[in-house]
A and B are shown apart, each in its own frame.
Chain A
């Protein structure tokens, strides 16, 4: 079986995987990082979004072997030294979640969106989160949270 080496949340890891293993599965099963959720498994819902070399991708639509040599950040890598990431803090503050299943992917997409766009507005947030489905909130509080979280990230 292929052996891959990658960096996950800043830590170097080497893991033996099947060629057909999805990145989402390896993160959850081999590395026990179960914060990355698998919702639809058909690239629709975005619960599995992680950053690969800084870019948000759907980890259920990427083979683990494709991440060989890459740097991966999952939801577990957002908080630093026990302190929530500003985007996580904003989601808590604005009640940007209900059941929480979509939240890891929502946060990873939101952080990348805020990093790439200094001038986010309501419409840009909604377009930027098109690949992340939430079946609880109706999105309103998520949008509020992302706008506020983006502002906090700029400092």
Chain B
């Protein structure tokens, strides 16, 4: 890893200021992606701005029907939070199946979604749940936030502060983990709120997407059988050493059925 200047600001304002004054800065959340990336010299920032001590980015709360999670909340904290388990148990389960325990103690929800790995779990949850990403300058709907392979709507120097999640009637997340990395080979998050059903898919393509045909069928009849005969095209899906696009397409239907059966 190349050397850099390390900063550990106490406030978001300070973090934004350091970023704007630096040559080639990089924010760091839990560091579980950026540190390995810097070790491989795939990134060589002049300044690393550690967001780990910013109090404004911490904490989980429920007000009315909205669950709010601070961007620096670790996966372990989301997984063990009584509030999350009660409001959106599927999200607690999702967090509990990210990586491994040591990674979950450092990795954060904000860092994960800012990185937008095509096989990360949180993007599927936030899109399906209709979450809103609050940043230092604006609010962004999850569906508009994830824009492509490792790309988000975030501008230079913009920091995710918190994520607001409307509590659904029921939801479930099913993933087929890549057994070495535990990233999603495919992951499907299904959320039902009133008459509305949202199905979001991660791991299958270059970026999280909604399976709208599944949603229409499930809005008429929220049962696994409603998905009989419906599949998604493998055309835009990923093929790699672990799975072909056709296999991923098949997994989407299978996992969506299981998610509907397990929605709670």
CB-CB < 8 A to B50: which residues of A?
63, 65-66
Distance in Å from the Cβ of A20 to the closest Cβ of chain B? Answer: 5
We find that the number of chain B residues with CB closer than 8 angstroms to chain A is 27
Contact B106 A61 (CB under 8 A): yes
CB within 8 Å for A19 and B6 given contacts A61-B31, A62-B106:
yes
In the assembly, what is the distance between CA of A19 and CA of B8, in Å?
Answer: 11
Residue of B nearest to A56 (CB): B102
A39 in the interface (beta carbon within 8 A):
no
Contact A63 B35 (CB under 8 A): yes
Contact A128 B101 (CB under 8 A): yes
B100 in the interface (beta carbon within 8 A):
yes
CB-CB < 8 A to B150: which residues of A?
none
Contact B5 A19 (CB under 8 A): yes
Distance in Å from the Cβ of B252 to the closest Cβ of chain A? Answer: 25
* Interface flags, B35-48, vs A, CB<8A=1, else 0: 11011000000001
30 residue pairs of the A-B complex, CB under 8 angstroms, read A19-B48, A20-B4, A22-B1, A22-B35, A22-B39, A42-B36, A44-B180, A46-B100, A49-B102, A52-B105, A55-B76, A55-B105, A56-B105, A57-B102, A57-B106, A58-B102, A63-B31, A63-B35, A63-B48, A65-B6, A66-B31, A66-B50, A66-B52, A112-B101, A113-B101, A128-B101, A130-B101, A130-B182, A131-B99, A131-B102
For the A-B complex with A41-B39, A55-B105, A66-B8 known, give 10 more contacts whose Cβ atoms are closer than 8 Å.
A19-B6, A20-B3, A42-B39, A52-B105, A57-B105, A57-B106, A61-B36, A62-B31, A66-B52, A130-B100
In the assembly, what is the distance between CA of A14 and CA of B105, in Å?
Answer: 25
CB within 8 Å for A63 and B76 given contacts A43-B32, A128-B101:
no
CB-CB < 8 A to A62: which residues of B?
31, 35, 106
In the assembly, what is the distance between CA of A57 and CA of B100, in Å?
Answer: 10
The count of A-to-B residue pairs whose CB atoms sit within 8 angstroms is 74
In the assembly, what is the distance between CA of A150 and CA of B56, in Å?
Answer: 37
We find that the number of chain A residues with CB closer than 8 angstroms to chain B is 29
CB-CB < 8 A to B181: which residues of A?
44
In the assembly, what is the distance between CA of A131 and CA of B99, in Å?
Answer: 7
- Option from B1, B6, B31, B103 in Cβ contact (under 8 Å) with A131: B103
CB-CB < 8 A to A66: which residues of B?
8, 31, 50, 52
A interface residues (Cβ-Cβ under 8 A, vs B): 2, 18-20, 22, 41-44, 46, 49, 52, 55-58, 61-63, 65-66, 68, 109, 112-113, 128, 130-132
In the assembly, what is the distance between CA of A85 and CA of B27, in Å?
Answer: 39
Distance in Å from the Cβ of B120 to the closest Cβ of chain A? Answer: 15
Distance in Å from the Cβ of A107 to the closest Cβ of chain B? Answer: 13
In the assembly, what is the distance between CA of A2 and CA of B106, in Å?
Answer: 22
Distance in Å from the Cβ of A56 to the closest Cβ of chain B? Answer: 5
In the assembly, what is the distance between CA of A1 and CA of B180, in Å?
Answer: 37
Contact A109 B32 (CB under 8 A): no
Distance in Å from the Cβ of A5 to the closest Cβ of chain B? Answer: 14
Question: Which A-B residue pairs are the 9 nearest by beta carbons?
Answer: A131-B100, A19-B6, A55-B105, A130-B100, A20-B1, A20-B3, A58-B102, A56-B102, A131-B102
* Interface flags, B18-42, vs A, CB<8A=1, else 0: 0000000000000110011011000
Contact B3 A18 (CB under 8 A): yes
